[in-house]
Structure 1
């Protein structure tokens, strides 16, 4: 086995912003000895009955929701495995972790001793970022290593 160089964490999800960040890494920063760690946080789901606002307790509904999430995670993993093969990359790990996306990326990158974290940016304005929170802002301010935030081309930050 060859020596592993940098350990690079990339936050991924179903968005075009994550894909652009991944592509930027692959086209501009990738080294042959990099060890990639793709980090995904599945969507949060609210287990409430839409009509009554009460918790859903039927096991069949919960099972259906969890199966749907698992299918999305598997599809995302397959999509990125294919993209890596097309670019000649090797991936160390695909990690799916529940919780807050920013916290998950920082936690996994630190646990995996990553040298660099790459994340996309949705380009939200100040008000939306303040209300909704920003994964890239969180990662930038809490990471133990350098962070590259890839802005979406043609979308200026406010």
Structure 2
């Protein structure tokens, strides 16, 4: 069990998270690894679904076969797009990896660091939206926080369109 690598990618199904996912699949993920997609949804008053049950600990690991099922994904408040599903399905088939999704609710900075310790992860890949200095100072940078506070190696894939 020690030899199994658990590579995670923080995803919000945006262009920059898809870029980070592609980069991780091309450069980090090896045959036989576990690829764990970590999604963090905003904290809120969710009235129905599994979100109420898993609010503090995050969802159970959702297998790849269930990521295409709109009923399952609606229960957890996520909506993977076709491009993300294509990336992970291709990687699973070509590299013989196990792909799962873990959903958390709350502050992305804290929940991603929590995922690193609770899963536990071998490494994490995260995208960077390329905020300017002023927006980054006001909004804060999730990737910067995770790099400085995460307990595993973290790779930030920059959004090159913004440069």
Check whether TM > 0.5: yes
CA RMSD of aligned residues (A): 3.0
Aligned residues: 138
Distance 2:75 2:14 in 1: 16
Distance 1:79 1:41 in 2: 19
Structure 1 residues 77 and 37, CA gap change in structure 2 (3 angstroms): farther
Q: Does the 8 Å CA contact 2:127/2:157 hold for their aligned counterparts?
A: yes
Distance 1:111 1:72 in 2: 19
1:11 correspondence with 2:10: yes
1:137 correspondence with 2:144: yes
Select 1:122's aligned residue among 113, 124, 129. 129
For normalisation by structure 2, the TM-score amounts to: 0.71
For normalisation by structure 1, the TM-score amounts to: 0.73
- Residue 32 of structure 1 corresponds to which residue in structure 2? 31
- List alignment gaps of at least 5 residues for structure 2: 52-70
CA apart distance, 1:78: 7.1
Structure 1 residues 19 and 72, CA gap change in structure 2 (3 angstroms): farther
- List alignment gaps of at least 5 residues for structure 1: 48-61
Structure 1 residues 31 and 18, CA gap change in structure 2 (3 angstroms): same
